[in-house]
Amino acid sequence: MQSAPSLLSRFGCLVRPANFAAASVASRAMSTAYDVGSSTNIKWHEGAVPTENKEAIMQQKGCVVWFTGLSGSGKSTVACTLEHALAESGKVTALLDGDNIRHGLNSNLGFSATDREENIRRIGEVSKLFADTGIVTLVSFISPYRRDRDRVRSRVPEGRFIEVFMKVPISICEERDPKGLYKKARAGQLKGFTGIDDPYEEPLNAKVVLEAETADGKRISPQDQARTLLEYLHSKGFLTGPSTPPK
């Protein structure tokens, strides 16, 4: 059996550089602290295990699948269905859902434009951390502002942010109204509700657009919507290895 130190050096954690003098100069330069935003005297530490190594272990590529759409458009349902399908294919996923995240990490935020912006900024950063770890990260937030979504896209490595637009007319969302929030908003008991008296900016270039109905008016099930996404992820090479192709 290998000893712990030899295992550690095999993975490059405790290896002393061959040119130790040169490395000391470099590390002194790298140890210079700097300021970022409101944080002073900080510095970036490069991770020892690259994303590609983790992706090779999991046989997948880290990405952010970002569901955006009105309340009731099916974001949570489709994200959840997709996550189960991915798990069946042996893929490692994370699911970040607006309602759930507002119970914890973002419980101090409301629904003003600035709070929604901060909500999306934080979740964008969390989803980037997951994607950088090689995880297929499903994110389900109304995320009504184009600028906020674009900012997240710009933080995630090129091509790894997949915007999914739940293009469901408000009439259908309102007909579903599983939480009775549209009813409350129409009655004036809930102010600033997205789509009623608060804005929703549709994506201009979503990678995937999921509609509620076919051109001839047939309703599309969440399973079919999830299958479309699964096929997309396969076709773009995010699901590598001998996983089962989408059924």
Ligand X SMILES: Nc1ncnc2c1ncn2[C@@H]1O[C@H](COP(=O)(O)OS(=O)(=O)O)[C@@H](OP(=O)(O)O)[C@H]1O
Which residues here bind ligand ADP, judged by CB under 6 A? 69, 71-77, 140, 176, 178, 219-222, 225
DSSP code string of 61-86: --EEEEEE--TTSSHHHHHHHHHHHH
Using the minimum distance from each CB to ligand ADP, give the nearer residue, 60 or 140.
Answer: 140
Sheet of 136-140, strands arranged across: 93-97, 136-140, 63-68, 161-167, 208-211
Interacting positions 53-72 with ligand X (CB under 6 A): 71-72
Question: For the window 190-229, what string marks contact with ligand X as x by the rule CB under 6 A?
Answer: --xxx---x-------------------------------
Q: Which of 143, 149, 156, 160 binds ligand X (CB under 6 A)?
A: 143
Residues contacting 218, CB < 8 A, separation 6+: none
For ligand X, the closer CB: 70 or 239 = 70
Q: Which residues contact 17 (CB under 8 A, 6 or more apart)?
A: 23
Q: Which stretch binds ligand X (CB under 6 A): 1-9, 138-146, 214-222, 239-247?
A: 138-146
Given the complex with ligand ADP, which of 63 and 181 has the nearer CB atom?
181
Please enumerate, as own/partner, the contacts of 98-104 that have beta carbons within 8 Å and a separation of 24 or more: 98/140, 98/141, 98/142, 101/141
- Catalytic site residue 143? yes
The residue (of 74 and 134) whose beta carbon lies closer to ligand X is 74
In angstroms, the CA 213 to CA 215 distance is 7
The catalytic position among 38, 143, 171, 243 is 143
CA distance 138 to 204: 20
State the binding partner of 176 from ligand X, ligand ADP, none, CB within 5 to 8 A by kind: ligand ADP
Q: Which residues are marked as active site?
A: 143
Q: Site residues (CB under 6 A) for ligand X?
A: 71-72, 76, 98-99, 102, 111, 116, 119-120, 141-144, 179, 181, 192-194, 198
